[in-house]
């Protein structure tokens, strides 16, 4: 039996992911200083990894398409599909709450900018901004932040409103794991060359060490530090594959990086968890 991967992915993004983000953002207790530190962390980790990706592409003498593929591969990490489950399994519910904070902050540069650059050649800026404005993920993030700012906590909301949202959110992680397996099963395995090895090493080994250094410099410690490092240690995100299809990128190379970095993280992530716990 063949499942429609696109439909399941849309179900996750539009129906199940917003509830888990909303509930976790309403539950988590993070001081304002930590929020600013996480924002700085997201900005610098994306910038540093983008520069490293660009330098690596220059060493490989890649063209613009190849350079974009390399930068996307090493910069964007799979913070939802892989990050959410491993944060929950490694650190429990509190780890998942902290992961939601990073995903909420990182969703704007990760998804917003990528959507903008992917779609600006195919639709007007107004239409693109309109599409982004109606993305459920962004809406629930703004809603949760707005409610917290005016002093409304999750316990203040009616249970008839909260409980169905919570149940939907609990269904997200199992379905996310199913979607990951289905996506990986659909990728054709090709020869593992040195260029691909370099991308996997940058993503799974170099990125976590840079994340660790950034947390020390910025002043993030404790469980929050562990979760930040663990999420950056996640494999390459699957979202760039979709973006590549939209603007003519190297879909095959991106898919291979996603595949091999996901396989590789089976060995690297347990080591990272051992170091940060």
Fill in the DSSP letter of residue 236: B
Q: What is the dihedral of CA 78, 81, 86, 88, to 10 degrees?
A: 130
pTM exceeding the 0.85 threshold for the entire prediction: no
Asked if 225 and 170 count as a contact pair (C-beta separation under 8 A), the reply is no
Asked if 228 and 220 count as a contact pair (C-beta separation under 8 A), the reply is yes
CA-to-CA separations, 225 to 21, 29, 71, 86, 103, in angstroms, rounded: 20, 15, 25, 15, 14
In this prediction, residue 245 carries a pLDDT of 55
Fill in the DSSP letter of residue 205: I
pLDDT tens digits, residue range 218-232? 988 888 899 999 999
3-state class of 77 per DSSP? strand
Please report which confidence band the pLDDT of residue 81 belongs to, taking 50, 70 and 90 as the band edges.
confident
In this prediction, residue 207 carries a pLDDT of 93
Q: Which residue has the tokens 């660790």?
A: 212
CA-to-CA separations, 248 to 33, 189, 199, in angstroms, rounded: 41, 21, 20
In this prediction, residue 241 carries a pLDDT of 66
- Two structure tokens written together for 115: 């959507």
pLDDT tens digits, residue range 20-32? 778 877 877 766 6
pLDDT tens digits, residue range 45-71? 989 998 998 898 888 887 766 777 788
In this prediction, residue 120 carries a pLDDT of 47
DSSP H helices, the chain, are: 5-11, 17-27, 32-59, 64-75, 83-107, 114-119, 125-133, 136-149, 159-170, 172-185, 194-201, 207-218, 222-232, 239-247, 251-276
> Is the CATH number 1.10.599.10 carried by domain 5-276?
no
Bridge partners, 127 (sequence order): none
Asked if 235 and 264 count as a contact pair (C-beta separation under 8 A), the reply is yes
What is the domain partition of the chain in residue ranges? 5-276
Average pLDDT, the chain: 78
Query: What DSSP letter does each residue of 23-52 carry, written as one string?
Result: HHHHH----HHHHHHHHHHHHHHHHHHHHH
């Amino acid at each position: 039996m063949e499942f429609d991967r696109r439909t399941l992915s849309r179900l996750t993004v539009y129906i199940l992911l917003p509830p888990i983000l909303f509930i976790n953002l309403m539950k988590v207790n993070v001081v304002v200083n930590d929020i600013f530190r996480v924002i700085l962390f997201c900005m610098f980790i994306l910038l540093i990894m983008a520069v490293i990706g660009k330098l690596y592409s220059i060493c490989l003498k890649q063209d613009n398409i190849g350079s974009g593929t390399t930068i996307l591969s090493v910069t964007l990490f799979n913070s939802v599909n892989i990050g959410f489950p491993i944060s929950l399994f490694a650190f429990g519910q509190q780890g998942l709450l902290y992961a939601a904070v990073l995903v909420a902050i990182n969703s704007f540069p990760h998804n917003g900018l990528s959507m903008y650059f992917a779609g600006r050649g195919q639709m007007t800026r107004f239409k693109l901004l309109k599409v982004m404005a109606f993305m459920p993920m962004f809406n629930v993030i703004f809603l949760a932040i707005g409610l917290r700012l005016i002093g409304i906590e999750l316990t203040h909301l009616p249970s008839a409103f909260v409980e169905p949202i919570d149940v939907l959110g609990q269904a997200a992680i199992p379905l996310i794991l199913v979607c990951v397996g289905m996506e990986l099963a659909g990728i054709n395995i090709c020869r593992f060359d040195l260029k691909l090895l370099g991308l996997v090493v940058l993503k799974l080994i170099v990125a976590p060490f840079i994340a660790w250094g950034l947390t020390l410099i910025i002043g993030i410690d404790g469980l929050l530090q562990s979760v930040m490092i663990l999420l950056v240690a996640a494999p390459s995100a699957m979202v760039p594959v979709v973006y590549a299809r939209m603007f003519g990128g190297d879909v095959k190379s991106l898919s291979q990086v996603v595949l091999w970095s996901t396989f590789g993280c089976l060995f690297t992530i347990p080591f990272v968890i051992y170091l940060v716990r």
